[in-house]
Amino acid sequence: MLILSLALRNARRNTLRSLLTGGMIMFGVALLTCGMAWTKGAFGGILEKASNVMGPVRIVMPEFAKKEQLMPLEDNIADVGPILTAVKATPGVVGAWARIQMPVTLTVGDDIGEHFALVQGADPEWFQRAIDLEHHVTSGRMFKVDDDASGQCAGGHHGRPPIEAVLGVAAAEAVGAKLGDDLILDGQTQDGSISAVKVKIVGLSELGSSAQNKFVYVSLATLQCMADIPGGATEVLIYGKTLDDAGDVANALKANPAMAKFTISPWNDRPPFNSIAGIIGALATIAVGVIVFITALGVLNTMLMSVMERTAEIGVMRAMGIGRLQTVVLFVVEAMGIAALGGVAGATLGAVVAYYGLEVHGVNLGNAVNKMPPGLALDAVIHGDWEPYMFFQAFGLGLVMAIVGSALPAVRASRIEPVEAMRSRR
């Protein structure tokens, strides 16, 4: 109790120095709070969004997995019906959809142009689940699946209804297409034959990500026809209740003998996620370490000054019977008292900035998002994600900063010999 009251008295005695120490802790804790909210919001959001698009769990043919950068149509799952039935009966699976993704050139006029795009063909339900496409259609509407049209490559003539498509705004701008235009998608079949589909643009989508704004979205049946994979698909994407369930769902699927010939992988086992998750974790740890270290250095500086100024006083206290350990505790408690106040202030300040600045307002990355690969589609505005636990986590780290920063001065104080201290008259 004596030590505690002495520590508090010392903290009050040099207000400026205590304010300096507390200010540093406050700044460090606020920075940590913002950093944690940013990491969770930005990187967590990217991972969740990208893994949703690429499928938390995915089934493909082994050859497809080996060269998936080339989007090999020939390495397809010839009949996805039985696979989807088996997958949906697997515990933990809440949804499964087949998808084909392929490169095409977009043509509005006569020339097969140089406007390349990716076309995704899937059930509208998948587009809703993965990218909430309907709500991102800024003009027009979501495409409808018409069995009379989408199951064939020809639509819109000879009395047939047109095949409908939603076009990303960047692709529309590049090719000079507008709502209601006929757009020709020139691609290939799984055998490499040239294959074309004429679609009617019924909606233009703005997903905030430049990569996804270059996509064309059509029904699965349309691409099954275009790629000449009737009843098949290149990928089956599977969703559990949460992203964290992916590993368990993948293991349950792998246990099914009917799935033995496929490559089944959760999102975090596939590139680029398998390397990115580790990199993000390492970067976050390094950032936290640097902030704690720099703040602790500031605390060390002020506490060291305190020890030097109070050498004579420490000598007297030591002469009066205060032991070395008690001396150490005295300085550490003093630093922790200041850190507690600074930590509360810093965590509060950090929470306000993280919530209103990063989470509500967000940070606009501008053109930087255009350099991201399609698999890591980024929104132009990145939002942080502040959670209450971050307040306590940052506060706790503030106390750690105080302990680390005050340890050396406290040990130095405990080594002061009473006679020498009183002789120094400081």
Q: For binding to another protein (CB under 8 A), which residues are involved?
A: 74, 107, 110-112, 152-154, 157, 184, 186, 188-189, 191-198, 228
Asked if residue 236 lies in contact with residue 80, where contact means CB atoms within 8 angstroms, the answer is yes
Task: Find the shortest distance in angstroms from Cβ 196 to another protein.
Answer: 5
Comparing CB distances to another protein, the nearer of 153 and 202 is 153
Task: Find the shortest distance in angstroms from Cβ 68 to another protein.
Answer: 17
Comparing CB distances to another protein, the nearer of 104 and 211 is 104
Alpha-carbon torsion angle 257, 262, 263, 267, nearest 10? -80
Asked if residue 97 lies in contact with residue 236, where contact means CB atoms within 8 angstroms, the answer is yes
DSSP-derived 3-state class of residue 33: helix
Comparing CB distances to another protein, the nearer of 230 and 323 is 230
Q: What are phi and psi of 123, to 5 degrees?
A: -65, 140
Asked if residue 193 lies in contact with residue 96, where contact means CB atoms within 8 angstroms, the answer is no
Measured over all CA atoms, what is the biggest interatomic distance in the chain, rounded to whole angstroms? 108
Q: Which residue has the tokens 């939603």?
A: 166
Comparing CB distances to another protein, the nearer of 5 and 193 is 193
Comparing CB distances to another protein, the nearer of 117 and 369 is 117
CA distances from 165 to 33, 105, 178, 248, 392 (A): 44, 15, 12, 35, 49
What's the rounded Cα separation, in Å, for the pair 59 and 95?
13
What's the rounded Cα separation, in Å, for the pair 341 and 402?
11
Task: Find the shortest distance in angstroms from Cβ 195 to another protein.
Answer: 8
Comparing CB distances to another protein, the nearer of 202 and 413 is 202
Comparing CB distances to another protein, the nearer of 195 and 327 is 195
DSSP secondary structure letter of residue 374: G
Residue type, 203: G
Q: Which residue has the tokens 């705004």?
A: 169
Task: Find the shortest distance in angstroms from Cβ 286 to another protein.
Answer: 45
Q: What are phi and psi of 318, to 5 degrees?
A: -65, -40
Comparing CB distances to another protein, the nearer of 148 and 191 is 191
Task: Find the shortest distance in angstroms from Cβ 275 to another protein.
Answer: 29
What's the rounded Cα separation, in Å, for the pair 390 and 395?
8
Task: Find the shortest distance in angstroms from Cβ 183 to another protein.
Answer: 10
Tell me the chain's radius of gyration from C-alpha atoms.
31
Comparing CB distances to another protein, the nearer of 57 and 197 is 197
Comparing CB distances to another protein, the nearer of 10 and 188 is 188
Supply 108's token pair. 């509005």
In DSSP notation, 266-332 reads: EGGGSTTHHHHHHHHHHHHHHHHHHHHHHHHHHHHHHHHHHHHHTHHHHHHHHHTT--HHHHHHHHH
Supply 336's token pair. 């922790």
Task: Find the shortest distance in angstroms from Cβ 154 to another protein.
Answer: 5
Burial class (CB in 10 A: 0-12, 13-18, 19+), 226: buried
Comparing CB distances to another protein, the nearer of 148 and 420 is 148
